[in-house]
Chains A and B, each alone.
Chain A
Amino acid sequence: MGTALSPHEYAVMNALAGEDLETAFDDLLQATGLDQSLVSAALTALAGNGWAAVTEETLTEVVPTEAGKQAAVTGTPERQLLLVLDLDQEIFMPDVHKVAAEKGFDGSAAVQWIFRKKWAKKVKDENGGADKLVLTPEGQNALVKSHSPDEVAIARASRGEILHLEELVEDGIDVPALVKVLRSRKDLVKLRNRVRRRASLTEMGREIVVGGITVAEEVTALTPELLASGRWRKVTFKKFDVTLDTERLVPGRAHPLARIVQETREAFYSMGFGEVRSDFIESGFWDFDALFQPQDHPAREMQDTFYLERPGRLPLPEDEGLVDRVRRTHEDGGDTGSTGWGYRWSIDKARQAILRTHCTATSIRALAEDPNPPRKVFTIGKVFRRETVSYKHLPEFMQIDGIIIDEGATLATLKGTLTEYYKKLGFDRIKFKPSFFPYTEPSAEIYVWMESRGQWVEMGGSGIFRPEVTEPLGCKVPVLAWGLGLERLAMFRFGASHLKELYDGDLGWLREVPLCR
């Protein structure tokens, strides 16, 4: 079967397998016909597999300048000066520059290097004349024998071949000393460091080659066909840039308010509450009268409550006794021990159809239906106030209303039940303070601490139904009741900027608001 390799790795392996020793990188380029980056990548991959070994060597390349190339032909400045001295044996120092100018070489460099190479020395004139430059034995020697190492390097580098100083070791030249010299001859040559790589197959690599190697293709997508055929084993998968962004997905999602509604339901189910419901088109009887709210109470005015033209009126409960007990309670307290409101109760007002102002209408229907303890029910539904839509007010909103009919129901258990509910929704601090409502006594308002706003926010009202409410319905035990808003909880939880945003239906917001916090 052999080993499947990417096309580049295959080419490099093949080239290396043809050589017993190390192969220079440049030779690999030639042998494979690939460019540098591809060969590098393939070598890195092969070395990663342990199939190839790569050695690196740093070489110093000599690159002559224009002046260097010139010196290779005419000789370095100090050699030219040496030749002048060969003729005259000595020369007055002041004349050096004149001669240099005539012959066309750099006089200063010539003097500097002729001293450094000790080919000449300066001799003072005993008669007070100008100093003389005099040839030394080393100078004589240099004339006869050979060129100095720097001259050799400059000459060879100027011949058009790439010269690495390290090659001169073979000529018996002290390379580190030469490097030092050439570094100070920048006018003639530049030195560049070159890394030379060589590669060879390891023992393992050779075994792989012996076992046979083949070219595997590179693919973008993993397809069913690749999986079914097993060909996925032979191909290599194009690597993706995993840091790039991809398409933005919008999951299906519940409405933020529906989420609060559902959490509220679950909170009350878990505390043993059954759910009830009733229509939001309601009679004055159930919305107000059964709750001992006098018929001239400001909340019943047309200014605050939506009345209906159709249906204009709604049927009263079939139990006429119930209606009559409610009437008498309003008028003089009836049998409840109350003084009542002291007015003439109107059955027509009780029949008027309205959009319910609170879900307590549903609670009270549930109480009338079955007033026997123990019972815990709640309802979540729409309620209406005669307001125009604004940032602060809505004509319709949701309310969670509930009642507990129980011998052991007390103001303390009302506080505990509501505290528990808000805890379940993640609001740990609540304030329970006295208030006054027409149908509960004692009454309490509930505030929740909103950390994000740094303030207490009113959530709604609660209390224990007055006997004027419960007794006409045939209930003789305390009934805890509450009606709380839900919009503000949703608003604070999901960071809506105002109440209206919840009902705006802006898909931008509905798709983006993080729901799982």
Chain B
Amino acid sequence: MPVVAISTARLRSLLGTEIEGKALAEAIDFLGCDLEELVEVHLFECPACGTIVYRLPREAAPKTCEVCGHEEAGGFIDQGTDEVVRLDLLPARPDLFDSAGLARALVGYLGIRTGLPPYPVEDGELSVTVDPSVLAVRPEIACAELTVPPLDQAGLAEAFHLQEHLHWAVGRGRKKASIGAYDLEAIEGEITYTALAPDHEFVPLGMPGRMMSLADILTKHPKGRVFKDLLAGYDAYPVLQDARGQVLSMPPIINSEETRLRPGTSHIFLDVTGHDRRVVDDTLALVLTSICHVTGSIKSVKIHRPGETRVTPDLTPFTRTLSPERTTKLIGVDLTEEEMTSCLSRMRLDVTGRAANGDFEVAIPRYRVDVKHEVDLIEDVAIAYGYHNLPSLLVPTMTVGQELPQTAIGRKARRTLVGLGFVEVMSFVLTNREEHLTRMRLPEDVRQAKLLNPISVHQEIVRTNLLSGLMSIFALNKTREMPQPIFEVGEVVRATEDDSTQHLRLAIGEMGPRSDYARIRSVTDSVFRELGLTIDVSPLTDHELAPVFLPGRAAVIGLNGETAGVMGEVAPEVITAWSLDHPVVVAELDADVVLANLI
């Protein structure tokens, strides 16, 4: 998950209060953010665009700007230190991705400014016409016009990061929503959202003076190469352009150089495009309420669609009901209605009235896109109350603890084997063909489950028995003191094309100069004897694991006519395939069969 660093000084200025870094970090933690650390960082400035980036004390100075792509071999300009809180971003709370969003929540939580934050939207003059050609490619668009104090480098960088993080969390890699922001002064007249042929040209962001065709942008521009899959299969690509034909952007890939935001820009046009209107509108609301949280004014834009005209953005709070009884019941603390109202207010929610059944009617700011259900509001009450203030209670209802038979058999076998001096090992269930099959002389297909997307060649299949795991332990310990009596209780899997079954197995093994059939037979016998079971032992001939063993020195363990496992001396071919130089004996028991015979 992406991590953001937010300056505590910036938060203090947004909160308008002097609060120590530690107290601030604690409030952020109690608010539910995934706080990594409160730390002093080094600030560096990109010599080309002036973007400030930070580095942890343990990190080297940056050499490439993440905003403008500028490379500086000598490193960036050192701008001193700053205290920051580092947060792992939570996709569920995109309203807490930047300093403005965080301050908005903190100011309420700390009781400085509570209740619904206002986001007035004035009627604007701008309109966007949606051409039918774009409907098949990327049909939805929402826009807004805003005026903010002239942007500085810090503001630009923060807007850039917020945009990237929203693309990740809400836009799902720009697929569901992608955001564009432009200098409105560079735009003239009516804006059109349309789809144009691949040979249409404009100067993309980051390539000043270089006209590129839409097709070239997809194959040559760095952003084009990353996001080209989103437009694969179309013969025309989405474009926003003004009355002169000046391209604003090619959603969801890249904006134009001409309309880019610059230091000093204060009049901004915003658009969000995508496939799903709800996601597009949510994203626009998130951007606007963050950028304009402190200062700035928002104007609406008319969107003329084929057969429909709508006005965006709609930042009206939405309403949900909240039952005080259910709130108390779910949190487990008796709260008065006043306390609940105050908690909601500190989470920047307003109780606007009461429903006929007594439930609160709660107004929720538009940016709280995570609120889907009453329980989301109950959680807000709990957070405002403070999880650290909750009592630690137990459910008063009596229930009876119960061990699973599989667990019991594992526990009993473990007790016997530990008593016999065996050391328990645990290995991974993921393994590979070389170790699990080839070295064990097993055929290529023993119905093993196979990964579709393995991350390493060492872990490509799921084990079908525990024996190769024991061998790998012996291989790892070949220089350790002999003998090495070990065992493992573990699960193995058998798969078909459209189903799989999992089985509990017990594997016993010993490597040592005197490890022979008699030894493994004695140990296996005692495991069964302790379980009160009598086994029939017959020579191993026709069994899937037969190739592992030395012929004539291995046996099948029978329980009332069922095969409950195998035991014997490991074939020298297998021992040497593992580069071992001592005799090895093993047994593998099928816990399911043992269990069936116990009952």
Interface string of B383-421 (1 = CB under 8 A from A): 100011011111111111111101100010010011111
Pair B401/A436 contact, Cβ less than 8 Å? no
Bound-state CA distance A276–B402 (Å) is 9
Stretch at the interface among A14-22, A56-64, A189-197, A247-255: A247-255
Pair B421/A251 contact, Cβ less than 8 Å? yes
Bound-state CA distance A511–B329 (Å) is 51
Q: In chain B between 273 and 325, which residues have their CB closer than 8 angstroms to a CB of chain A?
A: 276, 278-279
Instruction: Tell whether B357 is near chain A: CB-to-CB under 8 Å.
Output: no
Pair A510/B425 contact, Cβ less than 8 Å? yes
Instruction: Tell whether A466 is near chain B: CB-to-CB under 8 Å.
Output: yes
Pair B455/A395 contact, Cβ less than 8 Å? yes
Instruction: Tell whether B90 is near chain A: CB-to-CB under 8 Å.
Output: yes
Instruction: Tell whether A277 is near chain B: CB-to-CB under 8 Å.
Output: yes
Min CB distance B449 to A, Å, is 6
Instruction: Tell whether A433 is near chain B: CB-to-CB under 8 Å.
Output: yes
Pair B401/A271 contact, Cβ less than 8 Å? yes
The residue in B32, B376, B395, B397 that gathers the most chain A C-beta atoms within 10 A of its C-beta is B395
Chain B residues, Cβ within 8 Å of A138: none
Pair B480/A507 contact, Cβ less than 8 Å? yes
Chain A residues, Cβ within 8 Å of B30: 433-434
Bound-state CA distance A250–B374 (Å) is 59
**Category for how many chain A residues contact B:** 35 or more
Stretch at the interface among A108-116, A319-327, A407-415: A407-415
Pair A411/B390 contact, Cβ less than 8 Å? yes
Instruction: Tell whether A310 is near chain B: CB-to-CB under 8 Å.
Output: yes
Looking at the complex, which one of B423, B453, B458 makes contact with A250 (CB distance below 8 Å)? B423
Min CB distance B516 to A, Å, is 20
Min CB distance A384 to B, Å, is 8
Looking at the complex, which one of B392, B426, B430 makes contact with A416 (CB distance below 8 Å)? B392
Pair A505/B473 contact, Cβ less than 8 Å? yes
Q: In chain B between 185 and 214, which residues have their CB closer than 8 angstroms to a CB of chain A?
A: none
Query: Please, how many residues of chain B have a CB less than 8 angstroms from a CB on the other chain?
Result: 96
Bound-state CA distance A419–B387 (Å) is 13
Q: B331: nearest residue on chain A (CB-CB)?
A: A411
Q: In chain B between 416 and 454, which residues have their CB closer than 8 angstroms to a CB of chain A?
A: 417-430, 448-454
Chain A residues, Cβ within 8 Å of B485: 252
Question: A279 with B394: in contact, given A296-B172, A298-B91 (CB under 8 Å)?
Answer: no
Pair B428/A281 contact, Cβ less than 8 Å? no
Question: A441 with B332: in contact, given A279-B501, A386-B455, A503-B427 (CB under 8 Å)?
Answer: no
Interface string of A359-386 (1 = CB under 8 A from B): 0000000000000011110000010101
Min CB distance A297 to B, Å, is 8
Instruction: Tell whether A353 is near chain B: CB-to-CB under 8 Å.
Output: yes
Pair B398/A272 contact, Cβ less than 8 Å? yes
Chain B residues, Cβ within 8 Å of A297: 91
Min CB distance A387 to B, Å, is 7
Looking at the complex, which one of B393, B399, B472 makes contact with A375 (CB distance below 8 Å)? B399
Pair B430/A279 contact, Cβ less than 8 Å? no
Min CB distance A13 to B, Å, is 50
Bound-state CA distance A441–B93 (Å) is 13
Pair A386/B399 contact, Cβ less than 8 Å? no
Instruction: Tell whether B562 is near chain A: CB-to-CB under 8 Å.
Output: no
Looking at the complex, which one of B382, B394, B458 makes contact with A420 (CB distance below 8 Å)? B394
Pair A252/B423 contact, Cβ less than 8 Å? yes
Pair A273/B498 contact, Cβ less than 8 Å? no
Q: A418: nearest residue on chain B (CB-CB)?
A: B392
Looking at the complex, which one of A274, A396, A442 makes contact with B429 (CB distance below 8 Å)? A396
Pair B93/A415 contact, Cβ less than 8 Å? no
Pair B424/A253 contact, Cβ less than 8 Å? yes
Pair A442/B404 contact, Cβ less than 8 Å? no
Pair B374/A337 contact, Cβ less than 8 Å? yes
Instruction: Tell whether B122 is near chain A: CB-to-CB under 8 Å.
Output: no
Bound-state CA distance A274–B408 (Å) is 13
Q: B419: nearest residue on chain A (CB-CB)?
A: A252
Pair A412/B452 contact, Cβ less than 8 Å? no
Instruction: Tell whether B372 is near chain A: CB-to-CB under 8 Å.
Output: yes
Bound-state CA distance A315–B418 (Å) is 40
Pair B32/A436 contact, Cβ less than 8 Å? yes
Pair B493/A312 contact, Cβ less than 8 Å? no
Bound-state CA distance A432–B458 (Å) is 38
Chain B residues, Cβ within 8 Å of A444: 387
Instruction: Tell whether B239 is near chain A: CB-to-CB under 8 Å.
Output: no
Pair B278/A312 contact, Cβ less than 8 Å? no
Instruction: Tell whether B338 is near chain A: CB-to-CB under 8 Å.
Output: no
Min CB distance A41 to B, Å, is 41
Chain A residues, Cβ within 8 Å of B429: 280, 382, 396
Instruction: Tell whether A343 is near chain B: CB-to-CB under 8 Å.
Output: yes
Bound-state CA distance A280–B430 (Å) is 12
Bound-state CA distance A335–B176 (Å) is 26
Instruction: Tell whether B456 is near chain A: CB-to-CB under 8 Å.
Output: yes
Interface string of A228-252 (1 = CB under 8 A from B): 0000000000000000000000111
Interface string of A440-458 (1 = CB under 8 A from B): 0111100000000000000
Instruction: Tell whether B581 is near chain A: CB-to-CB under 8 Å.
Output: no
Looking at the complex, which one of B276, B414, B450, B455 makes contact with A254 (CB distance below 8 Å)? B414
Bound-state CA distance A374–B396 (Å) is 10
Chain A residues, Cβ within 8 Å of B411: 262
Bound-state CA distance A280–B501 (Å) is 10
Pair B452/A308 contact, Cβ less than 8 Å? yes
Bound-state CA distance A404–B393 (Å) is 13
Looking at the complex, which one of A258, A268, A374, A505 makes contact with B395 (CB distance below 8 Å)? A374
Looking at the complex, which one of A254, A269, A271, A311 makes contact with B424 (CB distance below 8 Å)? A254
Instruction: Tell whether B330 is near chain A: CB-to-CB under 8 Å.
Output: yes
Bound-state CA distance A10–B172 (Å) is 99
Pair A353/B395 contact, Cβ less than 8 Å? no
Min CB distance A395 to B, Å, is 6
Pair B498/A311 contact, Cβ less than 8 Å? yes
Question: A468 with B373: in contact, given A257-B426, A310-B450 (CB under 8 Å)?
Answer: yes
Chain A residues, Cβ within 8 Å of B476: 504-506
Pair A275/B407 contact, Cβ less than 8 Å? yes
Instruction: Tell whether B4 is near chain A: CB-to-CB under 8 Å.
Output: no
Bound-state CA distance A415–B391 (Å) is 8
Question: A395 with B459: in contact, given A436-B90, A468-B373 (CB under 8 Å)?
Answer: yes
Pair A253/B423 contact, Cβ less than 8 Å? yes
Q: B456: nearest residue on chain A (CB-CB)?
A: A388
Looking at the complex, which one of B382, B395, B422, B497 makes contact with A310 (CB distance below 8 Å)? B497
Q: A436: nearest residue on chain B (CB-CB)?
A: B92
Pair A312/B497 contact, Cβ less than 8 Å? yes
Chain B residues, Cβ within 8 Å of A87: none
Min CB distance B241 to A, Å, is 30
Bound-state CA distance A221–B91 (Å) is 75
Pair B375/A466 contact, Cβ less than 8 Å? yes
Instruction: Tell whether A102 is near chain B: CB-to-CB under 8 Å.
Output: no
Question: A250 with B477: in contact, given A386-B455, A434-B379, A503-B427 (CB under 8 Å)?
Answer: no
Bound-state CA distance A280–B503 (Å) is 11
Instruction: Tell whether A219 is near chain B: CB-to-CB under 8 Å.
Output: no
Pair B375/A311 contact, Cβ less than 8 Å? no
Bound-state CA distance A340–B276 (Å) is 14
Interface string of A267-303 (1 = CB under 8 A from B): 0111111111101110000000000000011100010
Pair A412/B332 contact, Cβ less than 8 Å? yes
Give the A-binding residues of B (Cβ under 8 A). 29-32, 34, 90-93, 172, 175-176, 276, 278-279, 329-333, 370, 372-376, 378-379, 382-383, 387-388, 390-404, 406-407, 411, 414, 417-430, 448-456, 458-459, 462, 472-473, 476-477, 480, 484-486, 489, 491, 493, 495-502
8 A-B pairs within 8 Å (CB atoms) are namely: A255-B425, A265-B403, A307-B451, A308-B450, A353-B500, A412-B392, A420-B394, A436-B90
Give the B-binding residues of A (Cβ under 8 A). 250-255, 257-258, 262, 265, 268-277, 279-281, 296-298, 302, 306-315, 333, 336-340, 342-343, 353, 355, 373-376, 382, 384, 386-389, 395-396, 404, 406-413, 415-417, 419-420, 431-438, 441-444, 464, 466-468, 478, 502-508, 510-511
Give 9 A-B pairs besides A251-B418, A269-B401, A503-B427 with Cβ atoms closer than 8 angstroms.
A252-B420, A311-B499, A314-B500, A355-B451, A408-B396, A410-B332, A413-B394, A436-B93, A441-B375
